[in-house]
Amino acid sequence: MDIASRKTVGKQQPTNAKGSLKRSDRRFAYAILVPAMTAFLIMVAYPFFDAMSMSFFQYTIYDLEPIFIGFDNFVAVLTDPYVLGSWLTTAIFVVGTTLLTMTLGLAWALLMYQDFKGRGVMRTLTLLPWILPSTVSAFVWAWMLNGKYGIVNVMLLGAGFIDSPIQFLSEDIGAMLAVILTRTWISIPLFMSFFLAGLQGMDYQQIEAARIDGAGNLRIVKRLILPHLKPVFLVTGALGMIGNLQQFDIIYALTGGGPVRATSVLSIEVFRQAFENWDLGMASAIGVLWVFTLMPIVIFYLRSLFKED
């Protein structure tokens, strides 16, 4: 498209030397890139490489200058059961949240695709969990899951599922469930929107033809809708995993990584090392592990994004 446009520009302006026009266009194209590129270099690229190189130094609050120690931080990271445990915690959180979000997001998108009275209002209201500040969402769920007066406990007790209230935020599994649930709650709106956008691109006649052939609701979902949404699944799945791997706010506000380390994912671990222990070298080394965990998913995501161009 761009090459074609330049060609026609050249044709329509015979008075201009083709080369000079190209050059001025190109100069403009580079010039308007400068602000974003500068911001990127200063706020993303430099900090990133700085953090990466810091992982080879011993640099804590007690060191006046960083001391080069080679791979020592990495040896410490890879032999530290806490860090490996944190990696596992991250994996549980990311996989659990992404799967739950995609399942519920898809179910909700299918329901919101159906024409019924009040659908418009419901679709709009669905966005609410997504736009709430993370501290607010954490508060909402901390109150819902409160160990004494929380409505979830009241309901479970009332229904006879449990005999005594569950101390969600002070039990290992309960805390993990709480952060997964809260994060899923926040992410469903966006995923519903992705799936809904995918559903709207469907050929409706196909569904009608299948109906005439006698296919039921479940069969249509399985044979037509799910295959149609497959590319959307891949991209949104990658996007969801990237987002959940980066997640800090909800977990910190809800459990602070605890009880003890039960929900201490990599983001919390880096934060603790950097801004509680002020050990920037160790924090960076854990950061490297984090980046390598993220990288394959980001590469997959970017590739699928560019494939269509």
Partner 1 sequence: MFELRSWKAKLGFTVLLLTIAFFLFFPVYWALISAFKSNQELYRLDPTLVPNEFFWGHFVSAITDGNILLQLKNSLLTSTSSALLNASLAALAGYSFAKFDYPAKKPLMLLILSAQMFPFGVLLISIYPMLQAVNLLDTKLGLTISYIVFALPVSTYMMYSYFKQIPNELIEAAKVDGASNMTIFRRIVLPISLPAFITVTLYAFMWSWNDLLYSMTLITSEENRTIGPGLLLRYINENNADWGGAMAASFLAAAPVVMVFAILQKQFIGGVTSGAVK
Which residues inside 124-153 make contact with partner 1, applying CB under 8 A?
124-129, 131-136, 138-141, 143-144, 146, 148-149, 151
- Which residue lies nearer to partner 1 by CB, 9 or 76? 9
Do residues 250 and 134 touch, judged by C-beta distance below 8 A?
yes
Beta strands 57-58 and 67-68, pairing class: antiparallel
User: Which listed range, 34-42, 71-79, 82-90, 172-180, lies at the site for partner 1 (CB under 8 A)?
Assistant: 34-42
CA–CA distance, 300 with 136 (Å, rounded to integer): 33
Question: Within positions 245 to 304, which residues make up the interface with partner 1, using CB under 8 A?
Answer: 245-246, 248-249, 252-253, 266-267, 270-271, 274-275, 280, 283-284, 287, 290-291, 294-295, 298-299, 301-302
Nearer to partner 1, 85 or 130 (CB): 130
**Least CB distance from residue 24 to partner 1, whole Å?**
7
- Which residue from 93, 194, 257, 263 is in contact with partner 1, where contact means CB under 8 A? 194
Residues from 86 through 115 that contact partner 1 (CB under 8 A)? 104, 107-108, 110-111, 113-115
Footprint of partner 1 on 224-243 (CB under 8 A): 232, 235-236, 239, 242
Please list, in sequence order, all residues whose beta carbon lies within 8 angstroms of the beta carbon of residue 94, skipping any fewer than 6 positions away. Answer: 241, 244, 245
Question: Residue 67 has which token pair?
Answer: 């001391």
In angstroms, the CA 70 to CA 135 distance is 39
Report the nearest approach of partner 1 to the CB of residue 71 (Å): 18
Count of residues interacting with partner 1 (CB under 8 A): 109
Rounded Cα–Cα distance for residues 14 and 211 (Å): 59
Q: Note whether 9 binds partner 1 by CB under 8 A.
A: yes
Q: Which is nearer to partner 1, 87 or 301 (CB)?
A: 301
Residues 61-90 within binding reach of partner 1 (CB under 8 A): none
Q: Helix H segments across the chain?
A: 2-12, 18-31, 34-40, 46-54, 72-79, 81-113, 119-126, 128-131, 134-144, 151-159, 172-200, 204-212, 217-220, 226-246, 249-254, 266-275, 280-307
**Which residues does 163 contact at the CB level (< 8 Å), separation at least 6?**
157
Nearer to partner 1, 93 or 141 (CB): 141
Give the residue, chosen from 56, 87, 93, 185, that forms a contact with partner 1 under the rule CB under 8 A.
185
Q: What angle do CA 296, 97, 99 make, to 5 degrees?
A: 75
Q: What is the C-alpha separation between 233 and 243, in angstroms, rounded?
A: 15
Can you tell me the distance from the alpha carbon of 235 to that of 23, in angstroms, rounded to the nearest whole number?
A: 37
Residue choice 17, 39, 75, 260 for contact with partner 1 (CB under 8 A): 39
* 17, 46, 203, 226: which one binds partner 1 (CB under 8 A): 46
